[in-house]
Amino acid sequence: MTYAATQVYAPTPSVPGELKVIQDATCTFCGCVCDDIELTVKDDHIIEAKRACVLGKAWFLNHSIEDRPSCMVDGKPATLEQGYDRAAEILTHGKYPIVYGLSDSPCEAQRVAVSIVDWIKGTIDTTTSVCHGPSGMAFQGVGEVTCSLGEVANRGDLIMFWGSNPAESHPRHFTKYSLMPKGMFLPNGRKDRTCVLVDVRKTKSAKAADIFIQIKPKRDFEALWTLRALAKGIELDPDLVQRETGVEFSVWTDLMDRMKACKFGVIFFGMGLTMTRGKHANSEAILALTRDMNEHTRFVAKPNRGHGNVTGADNVVSWRTGYPFGVNHSRGYPRFNPGEYTTSDTLANREADCGMTIACDPMANFSQPAREHLASIPFIALDTKETPTTRVAAVAFTVATYGINTGGTVYRMDDVPIPLRPAFPSPHPSDYDVLTEIEKRVKKILGVTHV
Amino acid sequence: MLETFILIPGRTTDQGCGVSEGKFKAKYQTAVNSLQVAPGDMERLGLSEGDRVRLTGEEGQSVEVCITAAKKEELPEGLLFIAYGDISSQLMTGDTHGSGMPTSKGMEVTMELLQKATS
């Protein structure tokens, strides 16, 4: 099957000097994936991005065509053909190839990346593993009581944020989805909602909250299990709770009263839970608390997802392999094991011997042992801009930016697929195009004639 | 004896905007290379805006970074904050404890003064 959605949504070229307006463009900077942006384009520059937040404006208005070669091999400009050939050679000659990233690529490109990994019997992992990977593990253990952001906007009368700072990470979260909208069952918008923020520091999001609860660092698990006990009516020692959580017991009982009394409670949780002590046990606790609360009222939990299509990466890798991230194909069938097949581990443990990074920057965001190993093996990097990772890659492709130069599909943080409406074309290939060409060559080298 | 702090890396608006401008440009570099210290801790330790300090993690991994005072009440004493980036990632260890996720928040670090800011 040929599936070229990136072509379906290809942008029309700009006419020199003329203004072009793109209605309902989609911002792919964060997981909110706001699809109501009005872009004004002149001479292949976005000069206005109506309704975009501060991060969205920076995303759109700073975008220009990178004045770099589309392909570099061993630090020198090369043709795309040379790059595709070398990339396929690297990926097919390793014993433990890894492919990592993908959370800033459209689903169509993610799908091709999974195919390549399948052909080369490699390991695929996405930036989810260093984001909400622990929540992905918790979903499998506990399950997820969930809903769309539209339901939150129309029904959510108690909105909790735990270990999440949307004022800085998802600036339109409050106004578009969770706090300000006047919904079907909340005609007065913000006045009909109560907002609770739980965090270890008083972030900029605290201003938006009615109640701010500052817990001790690394005590999210204890705080969540305190609430679980209160939801179940289990007696607790107030002094012990205060010592463990850093918060007076009466604050927790008051919060539980509010949680039981609301009509539709929502907990948005962030990496304050997944990146700290407890990790997946913290996410399990918040999902289990949500399940507990449904004995009293309607309650849902949602992770606040960071990158524009990290949710798409979870979906695509799941429907291609059965697992969301950290998937190994070395035996010819997919195996899932976070801590073994996740990229932080395959690199820090010096197991991977070649790889490909797509729309990610492990040379800036990984631990030092992982970076040192990545720099020592041949790998391919696809990115829209120069990064510490592209600088050390054996083959570096400069690709067009999804949502601005290329179309396709992304998933909002609530698993709702959203189409992209690009603004103007790029001379650089899309990551879909690059991956498709690499896949063709991989199949040729491996002698694959079917599919 | 060096005092131990808990380091919380996280997102900031400047870091997010800086990513779009370019990781080698001033906005991003400034955002990810500024360590926020609680005003009370700065006063107690005799630290000033712009002082250069060394942070050392549990396995001896260390970084050098300039400090800035956190906004009042934003950061309790005993906690440090820095925007996600190269510095915060260098303090992570390679071990993910079977989760795939290195401990990236709530890291225990020691802080020592290296150089006073030039006034």
B59, B99, B104, B108: best mutation site toward chain A, by most A Cβ within 10 Å?
A: B99
Whether residue B40 lies within 8 A of chain A, CB to CB, comes out as no
Helical residues (DSSP H) of A189-264, grouped into ranges: 220-231, 238-245, 249-261
Query: Do A261 and A118 have their domain in common?
Result: no
Number of structural domains in chain B: 1
Q: Give the whole-angstrom CA distance, residue A273 versus residue A286.
A: 9
Query: Do A297 and A161 have their domain in common?
Result: yes
CATH for A212: 3.40.228.10
Residue A267 has pLDDT above 50, yes or no: yes
Among the candidates A303, A332, A358, a domain finishes at A303
Q: Who among A217, A338, A367 is closest to B100 (CB)?
A: A338
Query: Do A126 and A142 have their domain in common?
Result: no
Query: Do A143 and A282 have their domain in common?
Result: yes
Q: How confident is the model at residue A8 (pLDDT cuts 50, 70, 90)?
A: very low
- Confidence at residue A65, expressed as pLDDT on a 0 to 100 scale: 83
Q: Who among A55, A201, A361 is closest to B74 (CB)?
A: A201
CATH for A97: 3.40.50.740
For residue A374, the one-letter residue type is L
Q: Who among B17, B18, B89 is closest to A364 (CB)?
A: B89
pLDDT digits (tens, 9 = 90+) for A415-449: 999 999 999 999 999 999 999 999 999 999 999 98
Residue A47 makes CB contacts below 8 A (sequence gap 6+) with A40, A41, A61
pLDDT digits (tens, 9 = 90+) for B33-51: 999 999 999 999 999 999 9
Q: How confident is the model at residue A9 (pLDDT cuts 50, 70, 90)?
A: low
Q: Is A58 close to B61, i.e. CB distance below 8 A?
A: no
Among the candidates A303, A323, A339, a domain finishes at A303
| Domain housing B41 | 4-115
Residue A2 has pLDDT above 60, yes or no: no
Chain A residue whose CA is closest to B63: A368
For residue A328, the one-letter residue type is N
Q: Who among A130, A169, A217 is closest to B101 (CB)?
A: A130
A344, A372, A390: best mutation site toward chain B, by most B Cβ within 10 Å?
A: A344
Indicate the length of chain A as a whole number.
451
Q: Who among A58, A343, A368 is closest to B21 (CB)?
A: A58
| ipTM passes above 0.90 | yes
Q: Residues 169-198, chain A: which have Cβ within 8 Å of B?
A: 169, 171
Tell which residue, A371, A126, A275, has the closest CA to residue B104: A275
Tokens of A278: 């407890």
Task: Determine, yes or no, domain membership for A19.
Answer: no
In 3-state terms, what secondary structure has residue A220? helix
DSSP category for residue A128: G
Chain A residue whose CA is closest to B29: A364
Query: Do A257 and A357 have their domain in common?
Result: no
Q: Give the whole-angstrom CA distance, residue B14 versus residue B17.
A: 5
Cα separation values, A358 from A64, A132, A273, A384, Å: 20, 18, 26, 10
| Averaged pLDDT of chain A | 95
Query: Do A93 and A235 have their domain in common?
Result: no
Q: What percentage of chain A reaches a pLDDT higher than 70?
A: 98
Q: Residues 295-354, chain A: which have Cβ within 8 Å of B?
A: 306, 325-326, 338-345, 348-349
Task: Determine, yes or no, domain membership for A351.
Answer: yes
Query: Do A259 and A151 have their domain in common?
Result: yes
Query: Do A141 and A208 have their domain in common?
Result: yes
| Domain housing A87 | 71-131+308-402+427-446
- Confidence at residue A64, expressed as pLDDT on a 0 to 100 scale: 83
Report yes or no on whether pTM surpasses 0.80.
Answer: yes
> What are the two backbone dihedrals, phi and then psi, of residue B55, each rounded to the nearest 5 degrees?
-105, 135
Query: Do A319 and A396 have their domain in common?
Result: yes
Cα separation values, A56 from A103, A150, A171, A358, B83, Å: 17, 21, 9, 21, 19
CA distance B51 to chain A (A): 23
Q: Is A385 close to B22, i.e. CB distance below 8 A?
A: yes
Whether residue B72 lies within 8 A of chain A, CB to CB, comes out as no
Residues of B in contact with A133 (CB under 8 A): 99-101
Q: How confident is the model at residue A451 (pLDDT cuts 50, 70, 90)?
A: low
Whether residue A54 lies within 8 A of chain B, CB to CB, comes out as yes
CATH for B69: 2.40.40.20
Query: Do A358 and A379 have their domain in common?
Result: yes
Whether residue A272 lies within 8 A of chain B, CB to CB, comes out as yes
Query: Do A292 and A339 have their domain in common?
Result: no
Q: How confident is the model at residue B2 (pLDDT cuts 50, 70, 90)?
A: confident
Number of structural domains in chain A: 2
Residue A449 makes CB contacts below 8 A (sequence gap 6+) with none
Q: Which long-range contacts (CB under 8 A, 24 or more apart) does A113-116 make?
A: A113/A356, A113/A358, A113/A435, A114/A316, A114/A317, A114/A320, A114/A321, A115/A320, A115/A439, A116/A91, A116/A356, A116/A435, A116/A438, A116/A439, A116/A442
